[in-house]
Every structure is written in structure tokens, then in C-alpha cells.
Structure 1
Amino acid sequence: MKNKNSDITVSNNSNQNLLYNFTKIFKMKRILFLIIFTIISNNFYSQDVPTSERNALISIFNNMNGANWSAGSKLNWNTSNPVSTWAGVNVFEDDNGQFHVYLLELLDNNLKGSIPTSIQNLPYLNRIFIGYGSISSIPNELGNLTNLNELLIISSGSIQLPTTIQNLNNLNLIRLEATTGNIILPSTFGNLKNLNTLMLSAPLLSSFPSSTTNLKNTLTRLEIDNNKISTFPSEISDLLNLQYLRFTYNGNLTSIPTNFSNLSKLEFLSIIDTNKKITCDNPTFFSSFPNLNTISFIGVNTSKYFDLSQNKMLKTVLIDSEKLEVVNFSNGTNNLTNEFTNKFGDTLLKNIKCVSVDNPTNAQSGTSPYNYWTVNWFNNTKNYLSDCSAFLSTANISKPNLKIFPNPVKNIVHIESEGNKINGEIYSTNGQFLKLVSSKEINISDLKKGIYILKLNTENGILTQKIIKE
């Protein structure tokens, strides 16, 4: 056939062939698409765990009030969807292409009931985190999970671990928090061979398992929070590899044992006493821990003086004490880094009188790194020195028997005291000696306006007083 508008001849056979070929290609692509979709779909649904593991999870769901979990917590649970899509469940693929549950995180306030014995059918579990509900019991079958590395349980009631916990040779972290109850650890707990982190928090916790001493070769981190232990556990002093220790207390404990000095590897030490009954009155207490980089003492009754000069690794210090007045922080390293975050003294009482540092001039002017420091100064007067020893004997003098006036002063400082003999020195705030004092009238007219330290040696003792020259 010849087109009227052209010289091109198109045969009907050619049209039919084109249509046939197009239809054939379309069908092939459609078949290919269906094959690919089927492969992807099958692969997605084949990423599932053995039936025994799926059933174990369903048992947990049924035993622990799963129907009332929040929508996010129970997403896809107890459905035909692959277990890998269930909220809080992670799986891994072994060398044979089989998937297994290795992580279980159930975090919901509506968790209620006991952990079922079928949890033993999750043999590849590496991490368990069950929390924020009420867990009534933990079965002995937990001891069959020999691949478990981390166990974290938070419950509103008490928590009691089974004796079979000793079988978990790969366990390296335990965190237990009973928000209103107690924590009971079996004696077999000390047989754990690789435990390096233990974190306990329970308001009714009143004792510490003696078998903990068996962990002295492995335990490096210990946190005991919100407890009522009546005697500071002597077992802690046997944990010679301990590097991190936090003790938060709300009971009647009054002292820290002297054998704490055994913990020479400590890098982090935090003791917080909400009742302000624990006492640490040894000025050189921290010298036993040369590796400390963090100190946190809150609510602890300290001495008036702490010596931190031997702690050359320190970067963070928080000593919120009502009694502390003088700190020796001349450790040779506190002016070398900007990473310090330090606080000394009680925020309300403002009781710090002197802090000795490596660079008093920079500290006094607030130059880095000292601009990150918070010191609650007595009389709101900053007083960084290279040597604060002059302040250490002020408690030996009866201040009512000695008066220094006027202060502020323009030219002459008058001293009124019962004794006749007075001698001493005047220093700048950075510790520089300026002049001797040998009478009850001190002429400072030659000094510039500013703040100075007057140290007096009287018959009644030593007194250090800050004077302001107008």
C-alpha cells in the first residue's frame, strides 16, 4: 500500500510484526518484574528466625502484658511479619544464612509479669534490656543464655537474680535498678568470670554480696546508687582493678574505710550523700589515687583542707562541701589544658578562702583554663595563690580576741589584740611577699589599690586576713 502523502510504502505485515514484538517484550518485562518482586518478597520474609525463637518472643509478649504495651513498643509483635521488624528486636545472620535474635530491648511502663522460662529458647541473645515496668520474677533458665554479654533490668519492684547467673561466662555488664524495692544477688554471682561492669540502684538495698571480692581481677566499673547500705562495703577495697566508682547514698553511713587507698587504679571517683552524713576528714585522701581524672564529692563532710597536688591527671573536680576552705591544686598540670571543669565549696555558704594553683596570675585574672572554674569564695573575694599554707592554721586563733581595722583601709591598718607581740607578713594575692609586719600599726600607704593577704603570728596562733587597700 502506498501512502498518498509520501513515497514510503508500509506493508501490513510489518505493522503486525512490530505489534507482535512489542507485545512479546512487554510480557517478558512483566514476567521479569514478577520474578524480581517474588525474589525480593521471599527474601524479605525469609529473613526470619527459627520457630522456637519466634515462639519464645510470643511467650514474652503474652507473659508480660504485651497487649497493653504502647503502640511503639509492640509494633509488629505477635504478627506474621518477620521478627526483625518487631519493635526492640534485632537479628543477625549466621554462616549458614539462618537468622537469630541477638538483642532484645523492651522499654515500656506497661511491662508486667514474669520473664517466661522459654527465654532459654533465645540462645543467641547478646543483650537483654527489659525495663520501666514491674517484673515479678526472673527464671533459672536465664542461666542457659551463655552468649549473653549485657543484662539490664529496671523494675518498679524488687529484683532477684537466679543462682544460675554463674553460668553466664560471657556476661560483662549487669545493670539492675529496682525503683522502689531491693536487689538480691545470689552468692554464685561472684563466680562470673568476665564481669567488668556492675551497676546497682535500689532504695532498699542494705547489703553488698561478699562474693563480689571474687571479681577483683575483672571488675573495673562499679556504681551503687540510691541505697541504704549501713556499712561501707569492705569488699570494694578488694577490687584492685577498679577504675570507676560511683556511690550515691541516702542512708546512715558515716565514714569511708581507710583501706580504700588500695584502689590505686581509680580514674573516676564519685561519692554523693543526700543526708550529708558521710565524713572524709583526711586532707590527703586523694593522694592514694594518682590516676584520678574525675572527683565528685557532694554532701560529704570533708576536712577544711584537701591536697590534690599528687593528682596530676585531674581534669574535673566537684567538691561541694560546707566545711572545705583551702585546696592545694598545685599539681603541675592544671594550667596545661582547657578541659578543666572544676567547682569548690558550698554554693550557699561560700566558704573557700584559698586555692593554690600552678599559675596564680592567670587564675586570678580568669584567663584560660581557669575561666572554666567555679569557686564559691568566702566574702566573694577571689584568692588564688601559689601557696595557701598561711590559711591552714586560722582555726587555732580566737578571733574575738583580735581585731583588724579599718578594712577597707587607705593607709594605716590597726591591730587590736590581748597579746603584745605581733609579727607577720603581707603578700599579694598571687603569693608574692611584700613586707614584714612587726607592730600593731601597719603602714600600707606605699601599696597600690587592691587586695592583699595579711598573715599574723600572734601569741594566740596564726591568723590570715584579706585586706582591701583603697
Structure 2
Amino acid sequence: MKKFLLLLVFLIFNIHSAQYSVSTSERNALISIYNQTNGDNWSQKWDLTKDPYYWYGVKIENGAVTELRLNGNLLEGNFPNNVLSLTNLKKLDVSSNKLTGNIPNLGSLINLTYLNISNNNLSGDFYSNISSLFNLEEILLGNNSGTLTSTNFSSFTNLKSLDLSGFGLTEIPSTLGSLSFLKNLNVSNNSITQFGNLSALGNLEELNISKNQLTEIPSEISALAFLKTLDASQNNLTKFSALHNITTLEWLSLENNNLQNLPTEIATLQNLIHLNLANNKLSSNFGTLSSLAKLEQIWLNHNEITTFPTEVLALPQLMSLSLQSNKLSGNIPANLPEICNISNNRYSATEIQNFLNQKPNNTDFVYSPQRYDEEKTEKAILAGAVSLNQLLSASDGYDFTWYKNLDNKTSTTTENYNINSVKATDFGKYTCEAILIKDNTLYILDFATFREPITLEKTETLATNNPNEKILAIYPNPVKDFLHIKNQNYKIENISIYDLSGKIIYSGKSTVINLQNFPTSTYILYIKTEEGYHHFKIIKK
């Protein structure tokens, strides 16, 4: 009977284990990882009632977990130590999460070929905790809070990719020269001034030197005979001679370098396919790019371009062009590439419609939102009245929504934002979103445009400084809807408005007058005070 019970327990245990594609111990380890990193708040959650085979980021081979890819999945908390029991892991990626605390010694993961823990807030000595994993081919550690007690990676003889971004390096580690398979090196976000060891990396294909406070492209780059990708963004580059005739280069980023002119050396990069010049101060002279016959993608967004760079439209392979967040307006050329983004410029709805009426062949044309009017500052006194204006009209089909401090939606949906009695909480930045939707037989126009911000600032009551000073003024003028009368130290007896024929069309004492229903014309405003009459000419738009 005892033997029978033992056999029954054994059979039950094996039947229970057999229902999953991994062992009970590995399944439990995965569940612990899920619970330790707040799995219920992951962007891609696991259904713990199902087999781990169906869990996001888990790859299983021959009954064992061989890959765990949970990058960008909102993991948080300390590094999950239960990973260490997944001894058959070949690839581990927990990058771009919110992991904290010390990284443990990963020596038990002897089969690991790919390790990516970058872009977290992990600490500890990264080098000593991975130094025995000689099978690693890709080591991505960058942008954490940890340290490297050594930069001698010569023992990782199969290394192909290495990310050492954000470790405070001042030079390229000399030991990297022995890594004959190294093709991808990321040393961004450091303080590197010595690039002498770079020349030894003869097989390098991808190099990231962004965010290193560089003023020139390192001359050693010209010795990299197989270099295809170079990221030199977020520096302060002024010298580019090292780029001259790097004929292997296919991808180049000079984003965010305060460039005011295009480097002429770019014209020599005859195999260039992707070029990122975004977030600079470029405005013109794009003919430099006209010789790059293989160029397919150009990023010129967030510059200071006012005239459409038609020179690039002649490039025979151009497929994608980003021009968002510049200062473009006027005619839009008909021969845009298939993918084109011109949003957040200063195009009007009419200019967009004129382009769409040409039946363009763009597969992805992004034109909304746009911007209009100019930034300005309005000053107001507490308990005073103020009107924040914009130029578009509801009569043209626009619907309006006003926002305070750029993203707080207000209840105001009129053309102008009027405050009859200013409170301390009213001061801030305001913008107006104007939306126009039209169903054309050729297309549906879904157009949004934002008024450049108006800053409402507090000004002290002038009478506080000079109680004898008298002010009588009107605003805005021209006016669309509400006319405001600013009065200081006058006793107003009556306010009248006359049209040009002499007919009185308004009489009262309110210092805020609604002119929305007045026809577009010129009017005369009379204000009667104890001292006599004051008159103003009003232009109603």
C-alpha cells in the first residue's frame, strides 16, 4: 500500500509538470520575476493560468527557457534575482524599464550570448558581475547608475556589440582593439576626448559618439574602412573634415548640434541613405544634398526653415522627408516623396487644400496640426478685464478650444478668450486650437492649428503709484467680439456707439461691450464722463 501511494504521488507530480512546456522550477522562477517587478502593471502582462509558452517575451526550446525579452515593458523594482535560475538562457533583455538596485553576479548564466540591461537605474559593479560570461556576443549596459571597475573586455573574444554609454569614459578603451568581431560600439553620453584607440577597431560598422561635447568629428573615424552608421548627434560640432569621402557610410545623424549651415563634407558621402539633421538652426542652402543620389530619408524637422527646400525633391531615391516644426508657409510643391511630414509649421487650411486638390500620390502625408498668429504678451490688473485674441473666424467653419499653460483645456470655445475680472489664478500662457473639418469629394480635410501662445502677465494698478493719473482706453481694436474699456479714475456716465451715418446702435454703461453681431464696419465710440466726452474710432472685423 505504501509503495502504491508513493507511485501515485510520483505520477500526479509528473502529470502536473507535463502540462507545462517548462519545468515547475523554471515556471515558478518566471512567476517570481513577474511578481517581483510589478507584473500586474506591465504593458504586456502574463496570464499566469496559461502555459509560459504563451507569455510575452518568453521563448522556450526543448523544455527550457532560452530567451527572456521584456524590454520597455514597465518592469519596476530591484533586478529580479530569480533570473539566475534560468540557466539555459541565451538571451536576456530587460532594457528600458524602471529597474533599480545592484545587479547580481550573473555567473550562473553561462549560456548567455546576448545581455541588454541598458536604460534602467541599476547600480553596482557591472564588469565583475558579468566577467565570467565568455560566450557573450552582445553586451549592452549603458545609461544606468553602475560602474565599471575595468574596461578590459578582451576576454569576450566573440563580442560583436558593446554599449558603454554613460559610464564617464574619457577615452576609447585600448583593449577593444583585440576584439576582431566587434562591429557595433556605443560610447555615447560620456566625456571622451581621446579617440586614438578607435583606429584599431578595423571591422567596426556602427559607431555612436553622441552626447560627448565634441566640437569636431574625430579624425580616427576616417580609418574605419567598413563604417556604415555614425551617430554624432547632441554635440557642438563645428569641424567635419573627417567625414570627407567615407564612401561606406549609409546612415548619419548630426541632430542637435546647433548647425546653422550644412557641412559641405556631406556632399562626398555618395552611399548615404539616411540623413538626420533635425533639431538644428538650418534655414537654407540645401543644394549641398543634391548630389546624394542614394538618399532615401531626410530629417529636417525642428529647424528654422521658412522656404520649402525644393532642392531635395529632385533626389531620385527620396522616399521620406520630415519638415515638421519649422516656419514653412505658402505653396506646397506637388512632387513630395511618398512619406512627408509638414506638421507644426505655419501653413493655412487653404494652402493645405490647394495641395490636396492636386490629387497627390503620397501614402503618408502628415499636415496637421499647424501654427498661426505670433507669440505675444498681454498685461492685466487684478479684477480688471482682458481679451486674448486670435485671427481665425467661426464664420469660416472653425471650432475653437482654448487651453491654459498649453495643455489644460478650458471651457471657452469662442473665438477670443475674455476675462471680465482677472484673478491671480488666471495668469499664465494661453493658446487656442482651431479645428476645421471638410468632406471634399477627393479627400476629407481634418485640419487643426494652434495659435502661438499668449502670455497673460500681472501688472500693478497704475493708480496705486499715482492716484491722480487718469487713463481711458479701449482694446482690442480692431475687434471681433468683445470690446473692453479700460478706465482709471474717470466717472463714466454713459457709453454710446454710432455708425458712420450717425445712427446710435448702442447705449449703456458696461465697460465690456459685445460686438459679435455688429456688421463689419467702422464705428464711433463716445464715452461721457464728468469731465466731458471722449471719442474713439472702432474697427469691427
Query: Shorter-chain-normalised TM-score: which range?
Result: 0.5 to 0.7
Q: 1:44 to 1:257 in 2, by over 3 A?
A: same
Match runs of 1:199-278 below 5 Å: 199-202=163-166, 205-207=168-170, 210-211=173-174, 213-214=176-177, 216-225=179-188, 227-231=189-193, 233-249=195-211, 252-273=213-234, 278=236
Match runs of 1:342-353 below 5 Å: 342=298, 347-348=303-304
Which residue of 67, 78, 94 corresponds with 1:113? 78
Deviates more, 1:289-298 or 1:350-359: 350-359
Which amino acid is 2:139 matched to? I
Match runs of 1:178-217 below 5 Å: 178=143, 181-182=145-146, 184=148, 186-202=150-166, 205-207=168-170, 210-211=173-174, 213-214=176-177, 216-217=179-180
Q: 1:213 to 1:59 in 2, by over 3 A?
A: same
1: distance between equivalents of 2:210 and 2:292?
A: 31
Tell me the secondary structure at the aligned position of residue 143 of structure 1.
coil
Residue in 1 that maps onto 2:244: 287
Residue in 2 that maps onto 1:333: 293
2: distance between equivalents of 1:82 and 1:305?
A: 56
Q: 1:185 to 1:178 in 2, by over 3 A?
A: farther
| Percent of residue pairs identical | 23
Q: 1:164 to 1:293 in 2, by over 3 A?
A: same
Which amino acid is 2:193 matched to? T
Q: Compute the displacement of 1:125 (Å).
A: 0.4
TM-score for both structures, normalised by structure 2: 0.47
Residue in 2 that maps onto 1:91: 60
Match runs of 1:374-389 below 5 Å: none
Residue in 2 that maps onto 1:70: 40
CA contact (8 A) 1:316 1:342 kept: yes
- CA distances 1:37-74 after superposition (whole Å, capped 9, x unpaired): x9xx9598443434553454466467xx35x4326566
Tell me the secondary structure at the aligned position of residue 112 of structure 1.
strand
Relative contact order, CA 8 A, sep 6+: which one is greater?
Answer: 1
2: distance between equivalents of 1:134 and 1:128?
A: 14
Tell me the secondary structure at the aligned position of residue 184 of structure 1.
coil
Q: Compute the displacement of 1:101 (Å).
A: 1.1
- CA distances 1:301-324 after superposition (whole Å, capped 9, x unpaired): 667651344422122223355479
Q: 1:253 to 1:124 in 2, by over 3 A?
A: same
1: distance between equivalents of 2:47 and 2:224?
A: 49
Which residue of 98, 111, 114 corresponds with 1:133? 98
CA contact (8 A) 1:340 1:372 kept: no
Q: Compute the displacement of 1:100 (Å).
A: 0.7
CA contact (8 A) 2:255 2:276 kept: yes
- List gaps (5 residues or longer) in structure 1: 1-37, 94-98, 376-470
2: distance between equivalents of 1:288 and 1:201?
A: 28
Q: Compute the displacement of 1:330 (Å).
A: 5.9
- List gaps (5 residues or longer) in structure 2: 1-10, 319-331, 343-541
Deviates more, 1:162-171 or 1:322-331: 322-331
Q: 1:313 to 1:106 in 2, by over 3 A?
A: closer
1: distance between equivalents of 2:140 and 2:69?
A: 14
Q: 1:48 to 1:353 in 2, by over 3 A?
A: closer
1: distance between equivalents of 2:229 and 2:208?
A: 8
Tell me the secondary structure at the aligned position of residue 260 of structure 1.
helix
Residue in 2 that maps onto 1:47: 20
Q: Are residues 1:103 and 2:59 paired? A: no
- CA distances 1:327-354 after superposition (whole Å, capped 9, x unpaired): 64464735xxxx6223569821669999
Q: Compute the displacement of 1:224 (Å).
A: 3.9
1: distance between equivalents of 2:126 and 2:61?
A: 27
Tell me the secondary structure at the aligned position of residue 170 of structure 1.
coil
CA contact (8 A) 1:307 1:329 kept: no
2: distance between equivalents of 1:102 and 1:369?
A: 47
2: distance between equivalents of 1:176 and 1:235?
A: 21
Q: 1:104 to 1:185 in 2, by over 3 A?
A: farther
Greater helix fraction, Structure 1 or Structure 2: 1
> How well do the aligned residues superpose, as a CA RMSD in angstroms?
4.6
- CA distances 1:422-459 after superposition (whole Å, capped 9, x unpaired): xxxxxxxxxxxxxxxxxxxxxxxxxxxxxxxxxxxxxx
Q: 1:248 to 1:186 in 2, by over 3 A?
A: same
TM-score for both structures, normalised by structure 1: 0.53
Q: 1:272 to 1:82 in 2, by over 3 A?
A: same
Which amino acid is 1:175 matched to? L
Tell me the secondary structure at the aligned position of residue 279 of structure 1.
coil
Which amino acid is 2:185 matched to? L
Which is higher, the Rg of structure 1 or of structure 2? 1
